[in-house]
Amino acid sequence: MFTNPEDEKVRAILAESRTVAVVGLSSKPDRDSYRVARFLQEHGYRIIPVNPALQGEVLGEKPYASLAEVPVPVDIVDIFRRAADVPPVVQAALPLKPKAVWLQLGIVNEEAAAAAAGAGIPVVMDRCIKIEHCKLMGDR
């Protein structure tokens, strides 16, 4: 199957997840967060926009100002924030008990990763969920 154990972990997370809270989602179609969220929707995931700056629906979904306001269970917390801003987002994610916390490509924060791992929540760091889905899941 996969020779890289990290790839197998990521594939399992993607296969077992259906709802993704996208923290830092932009309403602008030219932004990476928007394109990634739209891709996830197109591949059967429900996205939950999390961004206090959003005023109306994004990609047909009601936005929430914080993770604490999200009223449904979340499988993946996908973070589009600067690395320095990640620890409080991860702390807010812990009570949700997601299947994973995902830090997008270029985002690394060892402190936040340790906090999630310490709570038993797997962490994917410095990897784009869209790229990984294409690589590991094919057209599923």
Per-residue pLDDT tens listing for the chain (140 residues): 445 778 889 999 999 999 999 999 999 999 999 999 999 999 999 999 999 999 999 999 999 999 999 999 999 999 999 999 999 999 999 999 999 999 999 999 999 999 999 999 999 999 999 999 999 987 54
Q: Which residues of 20-43 are buried (b: 16+ CB within 10 A; e: fewer)?
A: bbbbbbbbeeeeebbebbebbeee
Say what the pLDDT of residue 5 is: 76
Q: Which amino acid is at 138?
A: G
Say what the pLDDT of residue 121 is: 97
Domain boundaries, the chain: 5-137
> Which homologous superfamily does the CATH classification assign to the domain defined by 5-137?
NAD(P)-binding Rossmann-like Domain (3.40.50.720)
Say what the pLDDT of residue 6 is: 84
Say what the pLDDT of residue 4 is: 75
DSSP 8-state code for residue 104: P
Distance CA 41, CA 10 (A): 18
Say what the pLDDT of residue 3 is: 58
Instruction: Identify which of 49, 19, 13 has the alpha carbon closest to the alpha carbon of residue 34.
Output: 49
Say what the pLDDT of residue 1 is: 46
